[in-house]
Amino acid sequence: MPIKAVCVLNGETVKGTVYFEQQDANSEVKLTGEVNGLTKGLHGFHIHEFGDNTNGCTSAGAHFNPNNVEHGGPTDQVRHVGDLGNITAGDDSTAKVCISDKCISLCGPMSIIGRTLVVHADPDDLGKGGHELSKTTGNAGARLACGVIGITKP
């Protein structure tokens, strides 16, 4: 039976809903949904370590990185578990989310349930930008919207 989760993203002007589905513990996780209110272009998209949004998105902590490695892109061998790359907003300020990822899980020790999904102001340079923040955050800028990932009815 598939495992399903949802995240409702909230920010000052950015809102969205992202759905997660995993067929079993060994399969990839599929993310689908929509984020509205973004400027046109790329926006970093990450899972952060805590499901704490008491101080806005700041209290969500750093990227979910249980292996204690450097930041990377979603297809890189070395990356944080929470590194999902970028979403792209069009002229209508909306980004359609359609991602499949093999590192994250909805169960077990790498579970993202109860952690925070964050949309950033700037593009994630995937750890390759040469900026001092490239290897930790992808230099993705401010946190525009976030929400806790919660399990849903299958």
* Residues annotated as part of the active site: 46, 48, 63, 71, 80, 83, 120, 143
Strand partners, 58: none
**d(C-alpha 8, C-alpha 78), whole Å:** 28
Best CA proximity match to 124, nearest among 108, 111, 136, 112: 136
Report the distance separating Cα 39 and Cα 43, nearest Å.
Answer: 9
Which amino acid would we find at residue 103? C
Number of H helices, E strands in the chain: 0, 9
